[in-house]
Amino acid sequence: MHRIALLVLAFCGAAALAQSTNLPSRADADAFRNEAAAQYRRILAGLSAKGKLDDDDILLGRARRIAAGLIVASAQVRPETSTWSWEIHVTSDASRGAFCIAGGKVLVGSALVRRMDLSDGELAMLLAHEIAHAVADHRREASRVTMESDAAEEVRQAEIAVMQENEADRIGMALAHGAGWPTSSLLSFFDKLAAEEPPGTFSSSHAAAAARAAAARALAQKLGW
């Protein structure tokens, strides 16, 4: 097994990784990626119409250069990802943060990068976290919840969301470190998240930023980085 895959096992544990890689059938996966690609095209078209797509050449170059190494690292964890049609785009639309959906479709908001003043290593951690969601096939179940979901289902989906975000932190750190980024820059990203989150902030989909930073530091120390 490749070194990066071993790092992912160390971060997530064998059971968690097995759950994350309990992947759907080829036909189901292809259909889901096609649906995600169509959604991505709609998002890009809307941003382009507003003149807010790929309108920061410097950030676009940075994001694509950094993502290239993370894509190579991802293929060591999940070889299938080497066949995906990866795309990396940026936008100045302030309502957009960062995401990577099924099939390797990435979007990064320049407002987020500028607000956090992200170094290349910190941007690598942001991208790695988002890419980890796609590598681990996250959000599949949540994307199929209907508007008729009851309160118990909403609670269950919130629990799944938090679990997936924590797992994306762990897998993302392994991917970024495996791509050659130093631990200090990866931890710095989490420290910046914690510094800008007001005390007492509640999110139904993410653990507190301070807790995420502490978990990242503990995991890094555990692996002797």
Q: Is the pLDDT of residue 197 over 50?
A: yes
Give the dihedral of Cα atoms 40, 167, 121, 96; nearest 10 deg: 30
Q: How far is residue 164's CA from residue 127's CA, in Å, rounded to a whole number?
A: 15
Residues with Cβ < 8 Å from 93, sequence gap 6 or more?
47, 50, 52, 109, 111
Comparing C-alpha atoms, which of 135, 168, 190 is closest to residue 21? Answer: 135
Q: How far is residue 129's CA from residue 145's CA, in Å, rounded to a whole number?
A: 23
Comparing C-alpha atoms, which of 21, 60, 39 is closest to residue 138? Answer: 21
Give the tens place of pLDDT for each residue, 139-196. 654 444 444 556 677 777 778 888 999 999 999 999 999 999 999 999 999 999 999 9
Residue 222: the pLDDT is 74
Q: Where are the domains of the chain?
A: 3-222
Q: Token match 């008729």: residue?
A: 148
Give the tens place of pLDDT for each residue, 7-61. 554 445 433 444 444 555 777 888 889 999 999 999 999 999 999 999 999 999 9
Residue 192: the pLDDT is 97
Give the dihedral of Cα atoms 166, 175, 217, 97; nearest 10 deg: -60
Mean pLDDT of the 79-83 span: 95
Q: Is the pLDDT of residue 203 over 90?
A: no
- What are the residues facing 203 on neighbouring strands? none
Q: Token match 């080497």: residue?
A: 82
Residue 24: the pLDDT is 59
Cα angle 130, 155, 21 (rounded to 5 degrees) comes to 40
The CA-to-CA distance between both ends of the chain, in Å, stands at: 20
93 φ, ψ to 5°?
-65, 115
Residue 157: the pLDDT is 76
- What are the residues facing 101 on neighbouring strands? 105
Q: Is the pLDDT of residue 200 over 50?
A: yes
Q: Is the pLDDT of residue 65 over 50?
A: yes
For 176, the enclosing helix (H) or strand (E) is helix 151-178
Radius of gyration of the chain (CA): 17
Give the tens place of pLDDT for each residue, 91-145. 999 999 999 999 999 999 999 999 999 999 999 999 999 999 999 998 654 444 4
Residue 28: the pLDDT is 81
